[in-house]
Structure 1
Amino acid sequence: MSSNALYTDLSDYYDLLCTDIDYEAQSHGAQRLHQLFGNGGNSHLDLACGTGPHVRYFIDAGYESCGLDISQPMLEMAKIRCPEAPFSLGDMCDFQVSEKLDLITCFLYSIHYSGELEALQKCLARVRQALKPGGVFCFNAVDKHKIDNNLCVSHSANHEGSHFTFSSAWYYGGLGDRQSLKLGICKTTGGITQTWHDEHPMVAVSYDQLKELLLPYFDVHIFEHDYDKITPWDQDSGNALFVCVKL
């Protein structure tokens, strides 16, 4: 199965897969960080926007928000959720904007979808080109050295007469710049269970590597992965928020 086949084939279930995510808290947290570090503007692009839930909250907060994603089925649902927003089909490692932006976000660890270090570096360069002076790039990332291969997150939901169980887990083999996101979906309808499994190739970086890639382009601030309060990174946790101001 290709790297995005699960999302393409099961895009109708994507919002169920992410039903335990607090999109509102994430969006408002990024907005607070933008108010602290940004240039005062309100133009915004959400990379890997999926079905557009973050874009919805940014628009409702007064931003001129748009989204970019590699999945056309996802974007079709995003257009329904946010009919007033422009959405573009494209690769976050190779995108351009017609007018420079004040804020670019990339939630849900989607920065790792770059796949490899060279592509990640291209993504960061594209982001810098797309930002106005003093513009902010806000994203979350996981440190490859802090991944616990034994951890798995799961939740269940009911939808249109079916019961779903979703699971996700990071895996890093310990060497190199590749990790993976393992996803699973079980759907039970009328006593019949169908199961899908997919493994998405992701770029693996340490925070030291990530800072080295960012520093030529940005003034970098790292915070604990907590959208409800702004706390400096404790230098130990493997999940963090990066707030990067264009130099």
Structure 2
Amino acid sequence: MTSNALYTDLSGYYDLMCADIDYLQQSHTVHRLQQLFGNNGRQHLDLACGTGPHVAHFIDFGYQSGGLDINQPMLDLAQTRCPDADFSLQDMCSFSTETPPDLITCFLYSIHYSAQLERLSQCIASAHAALNAQGLFCFNAVDKHKIDNNSFVSHSAQHGNSLFKFASNWHYQGNGNAQALMLSIDKTDNGITQSWQDSHSMVAVSFSQLQQLLEPYFDVHIFEHDYDKLVPWQGTAGNALFACVKK
């Protein structure tokens, strides 16, 4: 086995890395939340959209959908996937839109990429400013006090002649407002494995802190992190789905 840095740009491996994610189910659940709590508008913006898989499903649902990301290679792939969508290279903590969206989403815990509480506040304010009246802001988040540093998720995927194994976990030191997303990738060809590890800086926030940041701007509804059915958050799980209606 050899160990070395494989990738400097994950855009070419992003879809493979996320191959176990049910984008359709996630998108459909948020579409239901828009029907229940939103203004029934069909203008959609996806923050930290990556290669655009959620955008593709919202287009299928009849939305005028687009996204933003800070990674241009990701956006290039998103534009190929969704040629009629509008994508822009922007920071989700300080973005603007020409057409006000009715629905803003931020999937895959990407809200934590704001990295600092101040920037998280700016992201929330930017979403509020961009939305149409009674627009909906939906995202998922993890409570820093519920993080188990020893818990991780992993999956394998075949690509050509290569077998990839992806693993990730949250790491929180127990105090402060910084946590990390730890990521590892193994690529095996002909019995030889190369490995790559990285740590992404994320903002650590409790759900009570998050509610305090949101409440000046939104009426906040919190649900269990279950894309099969909508169940109000019971107050114990460490991850949840937030549906926030613009005040």
Q: TM-score range by the shorter chain?
A: over 0.9
1:34-93 deviations in whole A, cap 9, x for unaligned?
000011110000000000000000000100000101111111111111111011011100
Alignment of 1:1-247 (within 5 A): 9-247=9-247
Give the stretch that moved more between structures: 7-16 or 117-126. 7-16
Quick check: 2:124–2:214 contact (8 Å CA) kept in 1?
A: yes
Give the stretch that moved more between structures: 188-197 or 202-211. 188-197
Quick check: 2:52–2:82 contact (8 Å CA) kept in 1?
A: yes
- Whole-angstrom distance in 2 between the partners of 1:228 and 1:9: 33
Quick check: 1:8–1:71 contact (8 Å CA) kept in 2?
A: no
Quick check: 1:156–1:163 contact (8 Å CA) kept in 2?
A: yes
- Whole-angstrom distance in 2 between the partners of 1:11 and 1:111: 19
Deviation at 1:191, TM superposition (A): 2.5
Deviation at 1:226, TM superposition (A): 0.8
1:197-235 deviations in whole A, cap 9, x for unaligned?
000000000000000000000000000011121100001
Quick check: 2:6–2:194 contact (8 Å CA) kept in 1?
A: no
Give the stretch that moved more between structures: 171-180 or 190-199. 190-199
Deviation at 1:154, TM superposition (A): 0.7
- Whole-angstrom distance in 2 between the partners of 1:140 and 1:53: 17
TM-score (normalizing by structure 1): 0.96
Deviation at 1:10, TM superposition (A): 2.6
SS in 1 for 2:125: helix
Q: CA RMSD in A?
A: 1.2
SS in 2 for 1:95: coil
- Whole-angstrom distance in 1 between the partners of 2:6 and 2:178: 19
SS in 1 for 2:14: helix
SS in 2 for 1:101: coil
- Whole-angstrom distance in 1 between the partners of 2:69 and 2:6: 15
- Give the % identical residues: 66
Quick check: 1:113–1:202 contact (8 Å CA) kept in 2?
A: yes
Number of residue pairs aligned between Structure 1 and Structure 2 = 243
- Whole-angstrom distance in 2 between the partners of 1:14 and 1:55: 15
TM-score (normalizing by structure 2): 0.96
- Whole-angstrom distance in 2 between the partners of 1:98 and 1:74: 22
SS in 1 for 2:132: strand
SS in 2 for 1:134: coil
Summarize the Cα distance change of 1:102–1:87 in structure 2 as closer, same or farther, 3 Å threshold: same
Which letter maps to 2:50? G
Q: Tell me, which stretches of 5 or more residues in structure 1 are unaligned?
A: none
Deviation at 1:192, TM superposition (A): 2.2
SS in 2 for 1:99: coil
